Amino acid sequence: MAAPSAAPHNAEPALPDERKKQQLPPKSYADAVEQEPPANGTNGTNDANGINGANGNGTEHDDSKQTGHMASVLRIVDTGAPETKDKQEGRPQFERQESKHEYSAAGLDDTPRTPPRNKHRKTGSKSSNSSQDKPSADEKESESNGLDKPKRAKVKDRRKDTTVFEKVGEQNGSKLISVKTTGTYEKQIQKDQKEAPKHENGEGITSGKKPGQRWERSAIRFAPLNVPLHRRLQTLVVLFHTLCIAICVSTFCFLCAIPLFWPLLIPYMIYCMSSKASTSGTMSHRSEFLRSLPVWSLFASYFPARLHRTQELPPTRKYIFGYHPHGIISMGAFAAFSTEALGFSQLFPGIKNALLTLDSNFRIPIYRDYALAMGLASVSKESCENLLSRGGPNKEGMGRAITIVVGGARESLDAQPYQLRLVLKRRKGFVKMAIRTGADLVPVLAFGENDLYDQFQPDSHPKIHKFQLIVKKLLGFTIPLFHARGVFNYDVGLMPYRRPMNIVVGRPIRVVQSPHPDQEEIDRVHERYIQELERIWETWKDDFAPNRKEELQVLE
């Protein structure tokens, strides 16, 4: 092998100052960089055999060829020449392709690159939101190259307490997506950390579920302990009236269990079976003192209830008040016509009214005396005729009035909240009684009477409704399956709801007395009676029944 020759010493200077002294043109190295490498695989640098290495044929390079390749190993210095910049701008562009490795950045040599600075900013800033809403340049480029566009995560959700996904950025090609914690989550974590017991050395424990949470989330709302006294008294008075019959029967049974009271109870039982005080029409057991007690004002203010008059009634006539609807227990009829809590004697001075109820109630020991003292009487035909023909200033019934709950027990089965269905089309006995006794008919409509209780729907429970009708036909009364609120809660019990009642007394319908009225006259007065009820409903429904579900319906 031939010995390597020494490098030539007459090479052109590379520094601009030396070239200027020798009056040589400035040398640009952009052309040398852009030159294609030699076909034999060698570049401008020294090959594996050294500077003077042999070629593929074993021959040595000549000095002229070595001189041409020495320029590629020199340090390239920017001379600021304009032609250099122009040629640099014309450098070939290489397509950036996504790597198949773990990182996702792409370079000419397939090595990871540092992510742009704007992706390190917080997602809450405006620049981050704008960059997240618009696709990046890399995504556009990959889309144009036919690559699958990566799925974008949800960035923003303005709804409260909603899981929010945030795209944090890319670190070494790894895309990070985090879940943004909501305010309630952070509060719950802080609460759990406070409640969780910790040891002195800082170790914490995980506790099970907290007992009593189901009671805290219970649908039953219990009354607080700081309820005012007058509201407690109202509840007590209404509870007494609701359970009055049960209290009287229990008291009588308790007295019967004590032989010491037998000498008094036996004569009392004989008197109850033979007494006709409920049908005599004399009202001898009526107590104005008991009817005017302040406790009845508490009873009426429980709902509260109000009595309204549309027209004055002269005391020189006799009247039959038709009360509608029956409801479950007819709380409004008791408050308005059996007590002075709503001021009946002030609205209708000179008229003595008696509320009528079933004759079987006057067979209950102790309760019968309480009912007679409150001015109640039997609803039998004999009792109605006696009350409207025996009494008053002239002993002919002038200034007397009776109140009949026309719908009766049958109407109580249709007593649904915010509805008003009246069983009235075939109820004409009270009209016939008014014509025979010469009493004017006065319609009374109680807004809110049906709202005091909830009961089973007849349509959804047809078998139960059929059984109730059978009991009504056999025994004369029925048992509605109802519920409302309790004494110490607002959702379960037999106490009526605290919902307002407005009892409106309509205009009287004058009748001509006839001992034997014909059916045509009865139908004519009955039709006028229904028209007056409908007039009351249309006039006052928007004021006293704003939450109604349907309009007035007259059934049967």
450 burial level (CB within 10 Å; 0-12, 13-18, 19+): buried
Give 3-state DSSP helix, strand, coil % of the chain, rounded to 5.
Answer: 40, 15, 50
What is the spatial distance between Cα 10 and Cα 241, in angstroms, rounded to a whole number? 131
DSSP reduced 3-state for 194: helix
Instruction: Extract the tokens encoding 217.
Output: 């989330």
Whole-angstrom Cα distance, residue 226 to residue 232? 10
Q: Alpha-carbon distance 77 to 68, whole Å? A: 18
pLDDT score at 129: 45
User: Is 352 in contact with 338 (CB distance < 8 Å)?
Assistant: no
Q: Which of 306, 338, 305 is nearest to 321 (CA)?
A: 338
| Bond preceding residue 25 cis, omega within 30 of 0 | no
The neighbouring-strand residues paired with 483 are 454
Q: What pLDDT sits at residue 15? A: 76
- Cβ-Cβ contacts under 8 Å for 380 (sequence gap 6 or more): 279, 359
Instruction: Say what the pLDDT of residue 84 is.
Output: 46
User: Global pTM?
Assistant: 0.62
Asked if residue 480 lies in contact with residue 455, where contact means CB atoms within 8 angstroms, the answer is yes
User: What local confidence, expressed as pLDDT, does residue 47 receive?
Assistant: 44
d(CA 323, CA 345): 17
399 and 439 in contact (C-beta within 8 Å)? no
User: For the CA atoms of the chain, what is the radius of gyration?
Assistant: 52
pLDDT by 10-residue block (mean), the chain, 556 residues: 49 74 70 50 43 42 43 48 47 50 46 51 45 48 48 48 54 53 65 63 65 67 88 95 94 95 94 91 93 95 95 94 94 96 94 93 94 95 93 86 91 90 93 95 96 84 80 75 89 92 96 92 95 95 93 90
**Rounded to an integer, what distance in angstroms lies between the CA atom of residue 543 and that of residue 445?**
13
| pLDDT confidence of residue 91 | 53
Q: How far is CA 292 from CA 83, 367, 458, in A?
A: 118, 19, 39
Residue 209 is predicted with a pLDDT of 65
Q: Domains in the chain, please, with CATH?
A: 231-554 (3.40.1130)
